[in-house]
Every structure is written in C-alpha cells, then in structure tokens.
C-alpha cells in the first residue's frame, strides 16, 4: 500500500480556509485517496474520497492533480469544532485502512 506523508500539525483561526496536503508518491492505479477525521476518544469518521480531479461534499473538497502523487483536503471556513486529527489514506476500497499519524489541526478563536 502506498505510504502517505502529511504535516504533523497545523494551526488556524475560525473562519479561515484550511488546506492539508498529503504526499503519496507510490500510489497505485487501483488506489483511492480517502480522508478521515478523528476527535479525541472517538473513532475516525469518513470525510471524503476521490480518485482524480476534484471532489466536493457538504464538509470538504479534495483536490487531486493529474499525476495523483499528492492530494489536498480543503476545509472552508473552519470553526472550533473542526479541531481534530485528519488522516490521509491511500488504498483500494473495501480493504483494511492503513493510517499514519495524521495531521492535528488546532482551530482558535
């Protein structure tokens, strides 16, 4: 499975847009890019998934360049409740998830 690299931590203020970039140089043809969010003492929660180009849902956008070697999770107008750990995962769907350490996002007022 492709290994991912993402920043350990990021800081932001309420109302700002946050972009978290993930590198996955060895992504395979059948791999999808998936992001999960985890709050303290809770299980991870699916945010968004994409294969190429751009995907948008009510929570976030996911930008994937043509070479698919990186991806960017974009959170518009973050609030204090977006403070969490964000994980970038790469792999086929329907298989075990391989998590890294994730990016700890801290949102301040």
Partner 1 sequence: DTGVSQDPRHKITKRGQNVTFRCDPISEHNRLYWYRQTLGQGPEFLTYFQNEAQLEKSRLLSDRFSAERPKGSFSTLEIQRTEQGDSAMYLCASSGGRELYNEQFFGPGTRLTVL
Q: Which residues contact partner 1 by CB under 8 A? A: 32, 34, 41-46, 49, 85, 87, 93-102
Minimum CB distance to partner 1, residue 15 (Å): 28
Minimum CB distance to partner 1, residue 17 (Å): 23
Residue with tokens 């995962």: 89
Cβ nearer to partner 1, comparing 30 with 109: 30
Sign of CA dihedral 94, 97, 98, 100: positive
Nearest to 8 by CA among 97, 98, 108, 105: 105
Cβ nearer to partner 1, comparing 96 with 109: 96
Minimum CB distance to partner 1, residue 46 (Å): 4
Distance spanning both ends of the chain, measured CA to CA = 38
Element (H, E) at 80: none
SS3 (DSSP) at 81: helix
Minimum CB distance to partner 1, residue 8 (Å): 10
Cβ nearer to partner 1, comparing 71 with 109: 71
Distance CA 68, CA 3 (A): 13
Cβ nearer to partner 1, comparing 67 with 94: 94
């Amino acid at each position: 499975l492709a290994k991912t690299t993402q920043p350990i931590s990021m800081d932001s203020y309420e109302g700002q847009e946050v972009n978290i970039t993930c590198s996955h140089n060895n992504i395979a043809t059948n791999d999808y890019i998936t992001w999960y969010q985890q709050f303290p003492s809770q299980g991870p929660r699916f945010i968004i998934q994409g294969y190429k180009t751009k995907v948008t849902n009510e929570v976030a956008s996911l930008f994937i360049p043509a070479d698919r070697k990186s991806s960017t999770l974009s959170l518009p107008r973050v609030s204090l409740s977006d403070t969490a750990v964000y994980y970038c995962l790469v792999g086929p769907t329907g298989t075990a998830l391989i998590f890294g350490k994730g990016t700890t996002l801290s949102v301040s007022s």
